[in-house]
A and B are shown apart, each in its own frame.
Chain A
Amino acid sequence: GENVEQHPSTLSVQEGDSAVIKCTYSDSASNYFPWYKQELGKRPQLIIDIRSNVGEKKDQRIAVTLNKTAKHFSLHITETQPEDSAVYFCAASKRTGNQFYFGTGTSLTVIP
């Protein structure tokens, strides 16, 4: 099955700085890579996703990059704000069956 690794497990940045979270996956058949943000006591919320036919996708301050050859993808948050503080999860899936395999999570703290 798929194995998704995520680093770092915790990340602290100063407000306004950038944050980068990296994930690797093992199954070359995986072709869909979503990122979820989970605030304390709340459900995971999709913030951005990327499919394997695209190398990069951007949505305002958030961007995701994918390197299929190396089997890794990253989340980039620029101009971080305190409300970005949360746990972020990456995931990988094959479109067929749509089972998601999640990374272990990154706890991001943005220091005002």
Chain B
Amino acid sequence: SAVISQKPSRDICQRGTSLTIQCQVDSQVTMMFWYRQQPGQSLTLIATANQGSEATYESGFVIDKFPISRPNLTFSTLTVSNMSPEDSSIYLCSVDLSTDTQYFGPGTRLTVL
């Protein structure tokens, strides 16, 4: 497995502001993913963070709202832009260690007031 960390672990934000979430892995990984998990719900894939190219977004998620960076093979950021209370959720990054399996970071709990 890998050691995956996320910052911040939680935050409370005002509507209309933006928050950038960081995901750091202790080894180089080919693929990193960002998920959203709303309270009591399942995990929904937001996008695949591709190193050296633009992220690939799932239906219902757009780059203007969730810009993603992947500057190298160990790091990615997800920004939640122009936040509204509906964006309150847990945001998780995950990594694929080239074994088909994904391992998750600890998550960032976001509350938007």
Contacts and interface: CB of A to CB of B under 8 A. Distances in A.
A1 B59 CA distance: 10
Interface stretch (A56-64, A77-85, A98-106): A98-106
A73 interface: no
A46 B31 contact: no
B101 A46 contact: yes
Contacts, number: 48
A9 to B, nearest CB: 10
Contacts of A101: 45
Interface of B: 31, 33, 41-45, 48, 58-59, 92, 94, 96, 100-107
Contacts of B104: 36, 43-45
Among B41, B42, B92, B100, chain A packs the most CB atoms within 10 A around the CB of B42
Contacts of B33: 99-100
A99 B105 CA distance: 16
A16 B96 CA distance: 35
A107 to B, nearest CB: 9
A93 B107 CA distance: 22
A98 B45 CA distance: 11
Interface of A: 1, 32, 34, 36, 42-46, 49, 51, 89, 93, 95, 97-105
A93 B100 contact: yes
A49 to B, nearest CB: 6
B96 A98 contact: yes
Nearest to A98: B96
Nearest to B106: A43
A105 B102 contact: no
Contacts of B94: 100
Given A32-B100, A98-B100, A89 B43 contact: yes
B42 A105 contact: yes
A43 B101 contact: no
